[in-house]
Amino acid sequence: MSILDSLAPTTIPPGDEALRAQVRDFLARALPDVPAHVRARSWNGANAAFSRELAKAGWLGMTLPAEYGGGGRSAFARYVLVEELLSAGAPVALHWVADRQSGPQILKYGTEAQKRFYLPRICRGEAFFCIGMSEPNAGSDLAGVRTRAAPNEAGFLLNGQKIWTTNAHHCQYMIALVRTSGEAADRHKGLSQVIVDLSLPGITIRPITDLSGDTHFCEVFFDNVQLATDALVGHEGQGWEQVTAELAFERSGPERLFSSIVLFDEWLAWVRTPQGRTESAVRLAGGVFTELAPLRAMSVAVQEKLTRGESPVIEAALVKELGTTLEQFIPAAIADDLHGRDTAGVPAELLQTLNYVTEVAPSFSLRGGTRDILRGMIARGLGLR
Ligand SMILES: Cc1cc2nc3c(=O)[nH]c(=O)nc-3n(C[C@H](O)[C@H](O)[C@H](O)COP(=O)(O)OP(=O)(O)OC[C@H]3O[C@@H](n4cnc5c(N)ncnc54)[C@H](O)[C@@H]3O)c2cc1C
């Protein structure tokens, strides 16, 4: 099958699409009057009360089976939910990773005891997870991780360091990619995934401040941290295969298209007014929609593969690469549009939102795998590498 077949347009089933109106109603009540520059932070916005309200509505762990506290819904239903959350700029950071990838990962690879322990708490908004993949010398080159969980009588002794770990300072757990045997030179061999309880002795979490002044990602140090045997997720030595499958969940969703959507909306609202409307702004608005619509169709098509239990690694890379290119284009194009206009007439909230998104936009094509790495994967999918 060619990659083009796998990205054939897919429609969201009407039963799942029906969720949209309920989510909009909920958000209108839950988030009245939040300024755009705050909403623009959406999946960096940490708000435990909001995450638990979503849980009460049955919207955390929607795709997990009901027997583990989940909603038993399809990936399409979650897609609709996530689109609405992101376009409203809802603060989803705390439950984000658990809901998107740690929960499904535990469901797929975890033991029955792990599923019963973690999944209901994820669905109640009581267990937040972070992703412990990157290290100071292993980002793009992830197979070079050196953090070691050495098997011992009690389970594993964990030593090493992770970096850029989003929200580690707010989470209870990390799923970490670690070396359980061999050396860094062994590459994919000897890697495993472990669940780390971040309250254990020997763990230091140090937030890093980004250019915008926010502290959403962290350095995490492990100094002789004793993990129990049941910290292992899946099979020892299978960490690379597991992480590769996990990244398909991470790379294909609406979050790879919508990082600048609150800014775009705010600008569009102004372009709809007589003061904001110019010919070139109208052309730009149409241009952005022309790119967004097929990208969204591709992203929905990837959901269909996830729904079928497949692991659309290359397709997800394609969506992320194109999506983040558009996400970065939006603030640059809006800045161009405003350049040369009388800024006294531009709403202050629009300028503040533009300022924030411009500062963080370079990270869009770094987080979750850089542009160069994704292009390499796409080339491999085309049989060129
Ligand atoms: C906002 C943000 C949040 C993040 N959150 C997390 C998180 O929660 N958990 C986590 O584990 N990580 C997280 N990361 C880390 C992210 O995954 C890494 O930054 C990314 O994979 C790149 O790794 P690096 O920073 O080590 O850069 P490097 O790998 O050193 O890359 C530097 C540059 O060299 C290029 N390059 C590297 N290798 C090649 C190659 N083989 N061919 C061509 N070009 C190459 C890269 O594309 C890049 O431009 C986050 C990053 C950001 C920006």
pLDDT of residue 192: 98
| Phi, psi (rounded to 5 degrees) for 195 | -90, 125
Atom of ligand 1 nearest to the CA of 97: 8
Q: Under 8 Å CB-to-CB from 185, ≥6 apart: which residues? A: none
Say how far apart CA 66 and CA 107 lie, in whole Å. Answer: 12
Please give the Cα distance from 339 to 60 (Å, whole number): 42
Query: CB 85: neighbour CB atoms within 10 A?
Result: 25
Residue 250 is among the residues annotated as catalytic for this protein: yes
Percentage of the chain modeled with pLDDT above 70:
97
pTM more than 0.85? yes
> Which pLDDT score, from 0 to 100, does residue 9 have?
65
Beta strand 173-179 with 232-233 is: unpaired
pLDDT value at position 29?
Answer: 94
Predicted local confidence at residue 103, as pLDDT: 96
pLDDT at 10: 77
Residue 69, pLDDT > 60, answer yes
Assigned token pair, 186: 């062994």
In this predicted model, what pLDDT tens digit does every residue of 132-150 receive, in sequence order? Answer: 999 999 999 999 999 999 9
Asked if the model's pLDDT at residue 171 lies above 90, the reply is yes
Contacts of 141 (CB under 8 A, 6+ apart): none
Of ligand 1's listed atoms, the one at least distance from the Cα of 142 is 21
Question: What is the distance in A from the centroid of ligand 1 to the CA of 164?
Answer: 9
Distance CA 334, CA 361 (A): 13
pLDDT value of residue 122: 98
Task: Give the separation between CA 332 and CA 367, rounded to whole angstroms.
Answer: 19
Q: Which of 49, 148, 134, 63 is nearest to 98 (CA)?
A: 63
Q: Please tell me the predicted confidence (pLDDT) of residue 304.
A: 82
Q: What is the pLDDT of residues 270-326, one digit of tens each?
A: 999 999 999 999 999 999 999 999 999 989 988 888 778 787 888 889 999 999 999
Q: Whose CA is nearest to atom 25 of ligand 1?
A: 139
Ligand 1: which of 140, 171, 246, 378 to mutate, most ligand atoms within 8 Å of CB?
140
b/e 139-165 (16+ beta carbons within 10 angstroms → b): beebbebebbbeeeeebbbbbbbbbbb
Q: Is 180 in the pocket of ligand 1 (CB under 6 A)?
A: no
Q: Looking at residue 124, what is its pLDDT?
A: 98
Check residue 256 and give its pLDDT: 86
Enumerate domains of the chain plus CATH numbers. Answer: 3-128 (1.10.540.10), 131-238 (2.40.110.10), 241-381 (1.20.140.10)
208-229 tens-digit pLDDT: 999 999 999 999 999 999 999 9
Query: What separation in Å is there between the alpha carbon of 265 and the centre of ligand 1?
Result: 29
3-state SS, residue 92: coil
Strand duo 129-132 + 173-179: pairing? parallel
With pLDDT > 90 as the criterion, what percentage of the chain qualifies?
83
The active-site residue out of 84, 250, 304, 327 is 250
The predicted-structure confidence for 98-107, as pLDDT tens digits, reads as follows 999 999 999 9
Q: How confident is the model at residue 7 (pLDDT cuts 50, 70, 90)?
A: low
Helix axes 279-307, 313-338, angle to 10 degrees: 160
Q: Which stretches of the chain are assigned E, i.e. beta strand?
A: 129-132, 148-152, 155-166, 173-179, 191-197, 203-208, 217-228, 232-233
Calculate mean pLDDT across residues 159-185.
96
Of the pLDDT bands very low, low, confident and very high (cuts 50, 70, 90), residue 11 is confident
Mean pLDDT of the chain: 93
